[in-house]
Amino acid sequence: MLTYHGKVPAGAPVIEDVFGVLAHPVRRQLLERLAAGERRVSDLAAPLPVTRSAVSQHLRVMLRAGVVAERHVGRERYYRLERASLDEVGDWLGRIDQFWAGGLRRLGEHLASDL
Protein backbone atom coordinates (compact mmCIF):
# COMPACT_ATOMS: atom_id res chain seq x y z
CA MET A 1 0.00 0.00 0.00
CA LEU A 2 1.09 3.57 -0.63
CA THR A 3 1.58 5.14 2.76
CA TYR A 4 4.32 7.68 2.23
CA HIS A 5 4.53 10.37 4.87
CA GLY A 6 5.98 13.56 3.44
CA LYS A 7 8.30 13.07 0.50
CA VAL A 8 8.44 9.95 -1.66
CA PRO A 9 11.31 7.70 -0.46
CA ALA A 10 14.57 7.86 -2.39
CA GLY A 11 14.61 5.27 -5.14
CA ALA A 12 10.81 5.00 -5.35
CA PRO A 13 9.76 4.83 -9.01
CA VAL A 14 8.19 7.94 -10.47
CA ILE A 15 4.86 7.11 -12.07
CA GLU A 16 4.44 9.07 -15.26
CA ASP A 17 1.95 7.14 -17.36
CA VAL A 18 -1.31 5.23 -17.26
CA PHE A 19 0.46 1.88 -17.02
CA GLY A 20 2.15 2.95 -13.80
CA VAL A 21 -1.23 4.04 -12.49
CA LEU A 22 -2.72 0.64 -13.30
CA ALA A 23 0.11 -1.15 -11.50
CA HIS A 24 -1.38 -0.53 -8.04
CA PRO A 25 -4.57 -2.25 -6.83
CA VAL A 26 -5.84 0.81 -4.91
CA ARG A 27 -5.51 2.98 -8.01
CA ARG A 28 -7.34 0.35 -10.06
CA GLN A 29 -10.17 0.44 -7.51
CA LEU A 30 -10.24 4.23 -7.72
CA LEU A 31 -10.48 4.01 -11.52
CA GLU A 32 -13.40 1.61 -11.24
CA ARG A 33 -15.23 3.94 -8.87
CA LEU A 34 -14.53 6.95 -11.10
CA ALA A 35 -15.89 5.07 -14.12
CA ALA A 36 -19.34 5.68 -12.62
CA GLY A 37 -18.76 9.44 -12.64
CA GLU A 38 -17.16 12.29 -10.77
CA ARG A 39 -16.57 11.69 -7.04
CA ARG A 40 -15.38 13.57 -3.97
CA VAL A 41 -12.21 12.35 -2.30
CA SER A 42 -14.15 11.37 0.81
CA ASP A 43 -16.54 9.24 -1.26
CA LEU A 44 -13.64 7.55 -3.04
CA ALA A 45 -11.82 6.84 0.21
CA ALA A 46 -14.77 5.50 2.24
CA PRO A 47 -14.83 1.86 1.01
CA LEU A 48 -11.06 1.45 0.62
CA PRO A 49 -8.75 -0.25 3.14
CA VAL A 50 -6.37 2.74 3.23
CA THR A 51 -6.45 6.15 4.84
CA ARG A 52 -7.94 9.19 3.16
CA SER A 53 -4.42 10.62 3.07
CA ALA A 54 -3.20 7.57 1.13
CA VAL A 55 -6.13 7.94 -1.30
CA SER A 56 -5.18 11.59 -1.83
CA GLN A 57 -1.61 10.50 -2.59
CA HIS A 58 -2.85 7.96 -5.13
CA LEU A 59 -5.07 10.61 -6.71
CA ARG A 60 -2.09 12.98 -7.01
CA VAL A 61 -0.17 10.23 -8.83
CA MET A 62 -3.16 9.73 -11.13
CA LEU A 63 -3.47 13.49 -11.68
CA ARG A 64 0.23 13.83 -12.62
CA ALA A 65 -0.16 10.93 -15.08
CA GLY A 66 -3.17 12.65 -16.68
CA VAL A 67 -5.57 9.83 -15.81
CA VAL A 68 -7.88 12.02 -13.73
CA ALA A 69 -8.85 15.68 -13.61
CA GLU A 70 -9.57 17.62 -10.45
CA ARG A 71 -11.90 20.47 -9.62
CA HIS A 72 -12.39 22.37 -6.39
CA VAL A 73 -15.73 23.35 -4.89
CA GLY A 74 -15.05 25.17 -1.65
CA ARG A 75 -12.88 22.86 0.42
CA GLU A 76 -13.93 19.74 -1.47
CA ARG A 77 -11.97 18.19 -4.33
CA TYR A 78 -13.80 16.28 -7.03
CA TYR A 79 -12.11 13.87 -9.42
CA ARG A 80 -13.18 12.49 -12.78
CA LEU A 81 -11.57 10.22 -15.35
CA GLU A 82 -9.74 11.65 -18.34
CA ARG A 83 -10.74 9.25 -21.10
CA ALA A 84 -7.98 10.20 -23.54
CA SER A 85 -5.23 8.89 -21.26
CA LEU A 86 -7.02 5.55 -20.92
CA ASP A 87 -7.22 5.20 -24.70
CA GLU A 88 -3.49 4.45 -24.63
CA VAL A 89 -4.26 1.22 -22.74
CA GLY A 90 -6.99 0.27 -25.22
CA ASP A 91 -4.64 0.86 -28.14
CA TRP A 92 -1.94 -1.27 -26.53
CA LEU A 93 -4.37 -4.08 -25.75
CA GLY A 94 -5.58 -3.93 -29.36
CA ARG A 95 -2.03 -4.55 -30.59
CA ILE A 96 -1.65 -7.48 -28.18
CA ASP A 97 -4.98 -8.92 -29.33
CA GLN A 98 -3.82 -8.71 -32.96
CA PHE A 99 -0.66 -10.61 -32.06
CA TRP A 100 -2.59 -13.45 -30.40
CA ALA A 101 -5.26 -13.55 -33.10
CA GLY A 102 -2.55 -13.85 -35.77
CA GLY A 103 -0.78 -16.60 -33.84
CA LEU A 104 -3.98 -18.58 -33.39
CA ARG A 105 -4.82 -18.18 -37.09
CA ARG A 106 -1.36 -19.49 -38.07
CA LEU A 107 -1.70 -22.39 -35.62
CA GLY A 108 -5.08 -23.29 -37.11
CA GLU A 109 -3.64 -23.20 -40.64
CA HIS A 110 -0.72 -25.36 -39.57
CA LEU A 111 -2.96 -27.92 -37.89
CA ALA A 112 -5.32 -27.98 -40.89
CA SER A 113 -2.40 -28.60 -43.26
CA ASP A 114 -1.34 -31.67 -41.26
CA LEU A 115 -4.70 -33.36 -41.78
Query: Per-domain residue ranges for the chain?
Result: 18-82
Q: pLDDT for 47-98, tens place per residue? A: 999 999 999 999 999 999 999 999 999 999 999 999 888 888 778 778 887 7
Beta-carbon contacts of residue 43 (< 8 Å; ≥ 6 apart): 33
What are the C-alpha distances in Å from 28 to residues 1, 23, 39, 103, 107? Answer: 12, 8, 15, 30, 35
Q: How many whole angstroms separate alpha carbon 107 and alpha carbon 92?
A: 23
- pLDDT higher than 50, residue 4: no
Q: What are phi and psi of 65, to 5 degrees?
A: -80, -5
- In angstroms and rounded to an integer, the radius of gyration of the C-alpha atoms of the chain is 19
- Which CATH topology does 18-82 take? Arc Repressor Mutant, subunit A (1.10.10)
What is the pLDDT at residue 2?
47
